[in-house]
Amino acid sequence: MQSSKIKLFALIGYPVAHTLSPYMQMAAFSRLKIKALYIPLAIEPKRLAQAIKMLRSGTSGFNVTIPHKSACMQHLDSVDKLARMIGAVNTVVVKNERLFGFNTDATGFIKSVKTDLKITLKNKACLVVGAGGAGRAVAFALAKEGAKEVFIVDVQKAKAVSLVRNIKKYFPKCRIEASSQHSILNAQYNIDLLVNATPLGMKKTDPLPIDLKILNKTKAVYDLIYNISPTRLVKTAKQRSIKASNGLGMLLYQGAEAFQLWTHKKAPVEVMRKALKRKIAPSGKAK
């Protein structure tokens, strides 16, 4: 049970050893003089229900990362509308031992795109590579922001098709398609924003997640990966004078929103940003 004087927050996932979230959140707690601890917990999928039961009575809130973002939802008392649409929760608020789920990945992504790339998304054509948990949040966020077209590419086309079907239920005016790199190359239009939501790029030896020729049709690139900066995709885009950013901003802004949900206080974003940069430079590992 948490102390009445010190609030306890956590991150659950498997694995979590590489996470940067504790540095960011602890820096924020320190700046605002909040007596709190934030700890990463490696929870195997078979232990998820047991862990959440413990967190219900032992914490004031927690973050959720791979592979629990969808599976955790069945153990919560309430799920925010956006998180329910996406089918994934990454932030949980604990109040009177009741669990309230939110998805701050989507809003964190949009905030980062607007801040780091300085572009708006309304009426834009976007390509999302990867239809996993991160890709789901990104695709829903793009549709919610009013993107005109969202094309989703995944090596497992069935995942992309399923995601497209789900998004269409909520955003019928947005043109959503499960596409292929070949069809994107042959299309007669440009891509305003390309988002890499795959793990390709986490290692320096990884190939590019997209055909190099697609960059010739692309105006801006956002790579969700941030443990290598710049990733090969970001570096290649910038060499072609294309606006590009890694995912550090998304990590920052989703964490800041989680902090505000937990504390009802404005997050010290610049303090959190500096904490992240200290840990990641020059080649740190990341969440």
Find the mean pLDDT for residues 101-107. Answer: 96
pLDDT (0 to 100) of residue 285: 43
- How remote is the C-alpha of 193 from its chain's centroid? 16
Confidence of residue 4 (pLDDT cuts 50, 70, 90): low
Q: Which two tokens stand for residue 261?
A: 């949900």
Q: Pairing between strand 78-79 and 36-42?
A: unpaired
With a cut of 50, say whether residue 284 has pLDDT above it. Answer: no
Among 111, 129, 130, which Cα is nearest to 121's?
A: 111
Does the structure show a pLDDT above 50 at 286? no
Confidence (pLDDT) at 287 = 39
Domains and CATH numbers, the chain: 7-102+251-280 (3.40.50.10860), 106-246 (3.40.50.720)
For 163-196, give the DSSP string.
Answer: HHHHHHHH-TTSEEEE--HHHHHHSSS-BSEEEE
pLDDT, tens digit, 9 for 90 and up, residues 235-247 = 999 999 999 999 9
- What is the rounded average pLDDT of the residues 108-119? 96
Taking alpha carbons only, the member of 233, 177, 157 closest to residue 202 is: 233
- The C-alpha angle with vertex 121 and arms to 25 and 85, in degrees rounded to 5, equals 65
Q: Which residues are catalytic?
A: 69
2-16, 74-88, 184-198: range with lowest mean pLDDT: 2-16
- Segment 128-132 shows an average pLDDT of 94
- Write out the DSSP string of 196-225: E-SSTTSSTTPPPSS-GGGGGGBSEEEES-
pTM assigned to the model:
0.91
